[in-house]
Amino acid sequence: MTASLVYRERAVPFTGDPLAAAARLARGAEAPFTVYERDGEWCYGSGALAEIVLYWDEIRYRSGGGWRVEPVASAPLRALADVLATIPVADWRAYGWAGFELGPRTAGLPGPRSSEPLVHLIIPAREVRLTATGAALRAADPADLDLLAEALAATPATPATGEAARPRPLADLEHGADDYRQTVARAVEDIRAGRLRKVILSRVVPVDGEIDLVATYERGRRGNTPARSFLLDLGGLRATGFSPETVVEVASDGRVSTQPLAGTAAFDGGQADGGEADRARREALRTDPKEIYEHAVSVQVAQEELRLVCQPGTLVVDEFMAVLERGSVQHLASRVSGRLAPGHDGWDALAAVFPSITATGVPKAAAFAAIRRYEPEPRGLYSGAVISAAADGSLDAALVLRTAFQRDGRTWLRAGAGVVGASRPERELEETREKLRSVSRFLVAAPPAGPDREALRRTVADMLEEDPADVGDEDNLFERGLESIALIQTVGAWRRAGMEVNFAELAENPTIDAWFKLLAGRPTAAGTAAEVAAASDRPPEPAGPAGRGGAGPRGRRGGRGVPAGAHAARLLGRPRSGAAARRRRRPPLHRVRRAGLRRAGRRAGPTGRRDREAHRAA
């Protein structure tokens, strides 16, 4: 399809910390956004020129207009690739995720149909690619390039340290331990009875309290040695992780590889004894029959799967049973590579190997059935993949392990272990603990809730369509151009949230200082305004699919405006579930969002007003 939209591009000098810069950009971003790191490069994308959501039986997508829906009968990733080929964006790059349940759907296996999204991708409106030596900026709107450059220039020279003083949220690593031991024991019986050879069984660990996902990403990345790292907010699902391995890597010239990691031992970085214990565990890992068998069968299956899409004679094992350090653990690692056969592309390669053999089992069909039987809830993004793909045919998919998840006010971790006939339940449980520590020790609590003068300033600045930094505490807001109708509408929203406030008292003394003093402790039917915001609110529904019961074209209707309490939360700076903590502070990129929304409304783009109105009417 002929491209109708061309990115504006700019290269800018950058000698700062790319991780800190990526975190800064993410903290200032409204959903959807993604951060994806590979090979020393951080890729940040925000906004959506196009959005694609694959479900079990249909694919929904939009690009500059309303949602379109196409049925999917078979080969779901081929259907997704066909839709991408129609997107009218030159030299696009897409970012997003694929959930574990895509695997049974791709394989055509019987079983319950998931009503959740299987894949969610965006082609971002703004993109920054960062290394230690420079930054490449792309934006659909040229005005955004200046704003992105300003945000990068404001990145501190040294990493932020303020989050270190916050208490660490509690992740109960013993949650469900007894159930997990019993599950492993039953799986061992299945394996010894010949029903399958290997299965990876996981368990969920809840996190007590909301976390600051951006700060957790930055701290966790500095304390881990992942193959890939990521941070995302798509369709109501938020996650950050430190992937130990790739599911598949496809170059634009057709070279393809996968990196199975299986076989695990603890790794503490020599903190206690200079590395002597780590070296001993490494040697034991290399000679343990159970770990070697677990790894060997994974490599065997990886070869069989890639052979389906590779040219004959090109498949090789480049590396076998090396030991790689990944945060709090070390793994046996191999790499299998080849060259794609004519007629196959990166999406075919992903379909062939997804989900990773190291997160499912052998054979895969039996492992899917065992996972469904033994694990009490669907995996979703866990053990799926975070994906970066491009119009040139390249594709990179990171296995989603060592990850913190947030959705609908819930925060959790998840980890698993490979179970074979020689497995011992206690050892497999300990392996999950070792993996969970790669994330749990880096969790950062969300900022404490409290009335926030700067949040009120941003609300007022939005009404004035000005920079918050230009609005003083004592400025007369009517003299600055505040329209009465805008204030009336805002008062109405606050009153619907339960806040006792009226237009006359705000108009009597129209300054930020007076409003803050008036509203911070204002009683309501449910307590103070701050209590209403903290206790009764949830984030606005995104104007796009969010899975079962989510916003957008499937589930609850999206785009109905901000739910009760959201304006109060925004006014007072109270963290809302989901994206709350991230939205409490805005770096200079707030202007990108505000200006971008106004422009999108005029051109009816993916996040524009007319598009949101179409959702209301849907």
Query: Residue 142 has which token pair?
Result: 């040229």
264: tokens are 């695990």
Cβ neighbors of 214 (< 8 A, separation 6 or more) are: 23, 26, 27, 231, 240, 582
DSSP track, 246-267: EEEEE-TTSEEEE--EEEEEE-
Q: Which helix (H) or strand (E) holds 340?
A: none
- Rounded CA gap, 332 and 335, in Å? 11
Paired tokens of 265: 């031992």
Phi, psi values for residue 463, rounded to 5°: -65, -35
Alpha carbon distances (Å) from 484 to 411, 463, 478, 566? 41, 10, 8, 21
Please give the Cα distance from 165 to 573 (Å, whole number): 20
Give catalytic status of residue 58 as yes or no.
no
Single out the catalytic residue among 30, 116, 245, 541. Answer: 245
> How crowded is residue 245: how many other Cβ atoms within 10 Å of its Cβ?
24
Secondary structure element (H or E) that encloses residue 78, with its range? helix 76-84
Tell me the C-alpha to C-alpha distance, in Å, between residue 441 and each of 347, 438, 486, 522: 35, 7, 46, 39
CA 258 to chain centre: 22
Please report which helix (H) or strand (E) contains residue 28, including its range: none
Q: Quick one: three-class SS letters along 493-559?
A: HHHHCCECCCHHHHHHCCCHHHHHHHHCCCEECCEEHHHHHHHHCCCCCCCCCCCCCCCCCCCCCCC
Residues with active-site annotation: 245
